[in-house]
Amino acid sequence: MSGGFPEVRPRRLRSSAAMRRLVAETTLEPRQLILPMFVREGAGEPIAIKSMPGVVQHTRDTARKAIAEAAQLGLGGVMLFGVPEVKDEVGSGALDPDGILNVAIRDAVSEVGDELLVMSDLCIDEFTSHGHCGVLDSEGRVDNDATLKIYAEMGVAQASAGAHVVGPSGMMDGQVGAVRTALDAAGHLDTVILAYSVKYASAFFGPFREAVGSSLQGDRKTYQEDGANAREALREVDLDVAEGADIVMVKPALAYLDIIRQVRDHVDVPVAAYNISGEYAMVEAAAANGWIDRDRAVLETLTSIRRAGADTILTYWAADAVHLLNHR
């Protein structure tokens, strides 16, 4: 060595776009992205979601087109949410074979077959008049065990409609085991469970309430996790894996990157993360005001979630991100 300084020059590996691509430690690819979609019963045209610019409640026809595009883009899958016209105390529309979510699943599978994974949200909050993720007891509390029976039926209904993956998201104790047992008993041995294992009671869910036309009264703090807790997250993950979860998920993503990393290091099943509505809305709002470069912020956000340890990401930017990756 010459003895001159600096003797070590890390900048050599940042000297060009080609060099940066060569040594990139974290990849972001279309196959790692899942597009959440909302399908509204009775809609004659797509309905814009004001708090999520660029995201809509789809009609059945526009949903099919978006799903076909997702397959063409090489996305990992779509996650379907139904927005019903009528709700009731027990969320009965979630079990109806002709309910909007089960119909949307059949539409999707008929459009893309096995070319794209069709995933479905397994929770009754969109279908209940009170907006909670479970049925209520006589004192207005969410009844965990009564809700499990509904989740089991809902899982079978979604698998029967053709869903490749079901996503129990209500954070009921024992939900994965109840759904797995019901699926297996009904012969749906190959239906995958993507468990919302670590779902925090977050302020960043706000825009999602508009997206699904939520009727929520009160909050979900008695069943979604406290944002102060990390050890509890690992306990929830362990329980879900023991009950038969094939994939576990952390939701939200950005405020919980440390949790994603802990979960990734803790389990040997795939780990997903949900880049949620509020995270999306913040970037879009800041970009609309000219405060940040939107396209760079989108890719930086998604890369950070991958770097934290997520194998796959649910994100409203999924299709956009593919175009950005192809033209950067």
We report the CATH number of the domain holding residue 164 as: 3.20.20.70
Cis peptide before 53 (omega within 30 of 0): no
Give me the domain span that covers residue 175.
28-248
Placement of tokens 């949410």 in the chain: 81
Look up residue 192 and give its amino acid.
Answer: V
- Whether residue 125 lies inside any domain: the answer is yes
Residue 129 maps to a domain: yes
What is the C-alpha separation between 313 and 21, in angstroms, rounded?
21
Would you say residue 147 lies in a domain?
yes
Please indicate, yes or no, if residue 232 is contained in any of the structural domains: yes
Q: Is residue 265 part of a domain?
A: no
> Cα–Cα distance between 163 and 257 in angstroms, integer?
29
Q: How confident is the prediction along the chain (328 residues), in pLDDT tens digits per residue? A: 456 788 899 999 999 999 999 999 999 999 999 999 999 999 999 999 999 999 999 999 999 999 999 999 999 999 999 999 999 999 999 999 999 999 999 999 999 999 999 999 999 998 999 888 899 999 889 999 999 999 999 999 999 999 999 999 999 999 999 999 999 999 999 999 999 999 999 988 878 777 776 776 777 888 889 999 999 999 999 999 999 999 999 999 999 999 999 999 999 999 999 999 999 999 999 999 999 999 999 999 999 999 999 999 999 999 999 999 998 7
Residue 86 lies in a domain: yes
Cis peptide before 168 (omega within 30 of 0): no
50 as an active site residue: the answer is: no
Within a domain: 179: yes
The widest CA-to-CA distance across the chain, in whole angstroms, is 81
Pick the catalytic residue: 50, 65, 149, 199? 199
Closest CA to 25 of 295, 317, 250, 303: 303
Residue 71 neighbours by CB distance under 10 Å:
17
CA 112, CA 267: separation in Å to the nearest integer? 32
- pLDDT of 2: 58
- Determine the Cα angle at 153 with ends 151 and 154, to 5°: 60
149 noted as active-site residue: no
Cβ 321 vs Cβ 298: under 8 Å: yes
Task: Please tell me the distance from the alpha carbon of residue 132 to that of residue 218, in angstroms, as a whole number.
Answer: 9
| Segments in the chain forming alpha helices (H) | 17-23, 60-73, 100-112, 144-161, 175-185, 206-211, 231-243, 257-266, 277-288, 294-308, 318-326
**Does 174 map to a domain?**
yes
User: Number of folded domains in the chain?
Assistant: 1
pTM of the model: 0.94
The identity of residue 2, as a single letter, is: S
